[in-house]
Structure 1
Amino acid sequence: MKKITLLMCILMLPVSVQADWKESLSTGWNSVKNTSSKVYTDLIEDDAEIEGLSTLSAARQKSIITWDKMEDRFADIIEVKEDKSVAPESAFFKKNKAGYQEDIDDLLGDIYAILNDDIVKEASNSITQIDSKMLDLQAKASQQKSKSVILIGEERQDALQKQQEYENDIEVYQQNRQKMIEAVQARLDDFGTELSFEQVEALLVRVNADDILAMTTVFPVISEIASSFAKITAASGEDLNNAKKYYSMYVVLLELQLYIQERYIGDLKYKYLPRIDELQSKQNSLINSTQQAQRNASSKHKVSYSLNLKSQNTTLQAIKLYKVSMQQDLNKMSKAHALLMQDYTLAVNTLNTVTMSSQVSSLITDSNQLFDRIMALQAPELVPFNNIQMQKEFSALTEQIK
């Protein structure tokens, strides 16, 4: 898959703008590496002293805790951009522009991982493990139930007792699963996303659940950092160098969002949707062969084939719903990406033309309001399952898509 890269975004700009972009990023960066951490730390420590870290929003806490690690990546990205600006388009014995872009994407991926919320990630992983264990226990309980039908005496009682033990374990796992879902629900609420228990449950069985959860927690942190940059530039008076330095980092934040969106769009286009199409094709073939067999079957077997067809059509319905859901996600994310790309292009141009730090501060603040619109566009349609069977079908399909 050829991912849309930020290199293409910059190449689409006028030549003079590209040159100014490179100059703006390289000029004074060594200075900002030494001073930005102190300025940012002073700003966030003021917040912490006034309110106390534990009273801040989850996104604000994350921006404070992870700042040092992120700043290092910002510096690395700028340095790689400088190397990339003088690299050839293609080369046999040294790194070309595409190679440096891969390095930039890796660094953006590092920042994405740093900002990803551990609590949500661990709870989601726990739910996946619980679901897997419950399926195993359900199979074992069913096996013991089948055995009890043909056994007698103590052997039958032993099988029934084992069946009950498995079912008791399933109940315990189910209770733990509910607690994990509630933990994810509460954590998303901390990041400003309110979902019902049923919506969270519907989200967690989707194949792209991890990506959606990550974006739901990462984008608010990016918004918080951008707000801090706006405060810093506003407080710097007419210090244009400082304003440009922080606006350069703000542009990198926009690149991070574009990177996250492009990665998600790529997965939907080239991984999930093709896999769903493949499953739908196989299911249609199975239904056709079952219908053919039913037509040729004796009256004794036609009822069994009808039951099979009912189950197969339920699975087909789930596949179609899954595809509609994935397509909706793709359409929403594509719109959000186009909206953000417009803001990114403007940000690059502004970086090259800004004359007052107060103007930079206002632009960051105005652009930051765009994040809410982007989050709303990216939000998936989380329709709770109307029956247990459909939820099971979605869970099974998720494993097949993976």
Structure 2
Amino acid sequence: MKVLVLNSGSSSIKYALFDMDTQFAQIIGLIERIAESGSAHKYQYSSGGIEQKQIISLAINNHQQGLQAVFTLLSELNFIQDISDLFCIGHRVVHGGEKFCQPTLIDSTVLAEIKKMIPLAPLHNPANITGIEAAMVYAQSVPQVAVFDTAFHQTMPDYAFRYAVPTSWYAEQGVRRYGFHGTSHFYVAKQAAQYLNKPLNTLNLITLHLGNGASMAAIASGKSIDTTMGMTPLEGLMMGTRSGDLDPAIIFYLSRTLGFTQNEIDNALNKQSGLKGVCGENDMRAVHKMADKGDQQAQLALAMYSYRIKKYIGAYTAVLGRVDALVFTGGIGEHDAWLREQCCSDLSILGVEIDVEKNQQQQREINQVESLVKVLVIATNEELEIAQQAECCVR
């Protein structure tokens, strides 16, 4: 049984084809720079035990042509013989608002509801919708499933997701905390439960998805009860280019004193802040190199980044009462041993005792034997989670 996963951006289509019998991706690819010069198709797959990587330059004028290129390749490589070989197509959709808390089979009514969420995610949902519409035209006979980044966090109680603003803002404009990275948080929570050999609904976890975008979730009895990102992905942790938490009055101050427009402030907080804003570099590997060479701004950026995470570990421990495990994931969370150590240092009062040697060795469990809280490093696989949810939705 085969499931195709699509993640459509404004000028790109990321995809992965899964054999659900083995749970492995047969091919992973990217159509990039759609409707731009230099458009290309990048993909990788395994053949005869050898990893094959290819880049093909070709003119792709729209998402439908991009999708056609994907299906042509899948056929040429004999991964599928016909579109009907697909059990379903799973689409990543960033924002589902309060309407969608489960993977959902897409029809015209559902698509119309997803379009209503565009004001909540103006940079992401339109691109996701473009991919859905192209797939519905090209693969009409294949069930299409929307899997929402916000869905996992829809179990948050109202006192966690509401902001202390006029009720009408929430009731009429949907101003509340939604959270993101839900697909990743859910996936690694299930993997942690499997590793600990305990049912997920018996576990309290703090999951840390740390990449260029970063968020944490407090998970009680397997359900999200709080998360760091808010109505948008800007709130919460310090990130690669996003500021994370800040005093909202700063926006008014900048407007009054410097004459910044709303768009200028929006761009600055989303694309020029975070690590990049402090030290000029948003790639964590580059920040480490700068810090190792004595760059004080890079050292400050690292200290700020880890401090913010540690504060949320403390806050979420208080909210949960009992924590069974911290779970690090994402590109930074999975590979940055220094950061994990900094985030977990001096937390013995919370029952967290990290083993420095295990951490440096990149082991899955990096806590000391006597640690009351497990500290785990688990690779995320959002594409597989989307495939699994899509398959269950269609069955």
For the superposition of Structure 1 and Structure 2, which TM-score range results when normalised by the shorter chain?
A: under 0.3
TM-score where L is the length of structure 1: 0.23
* Greater gyration radius: 1
Q: Which structure has more strand as a fraction of its residues? A: 2
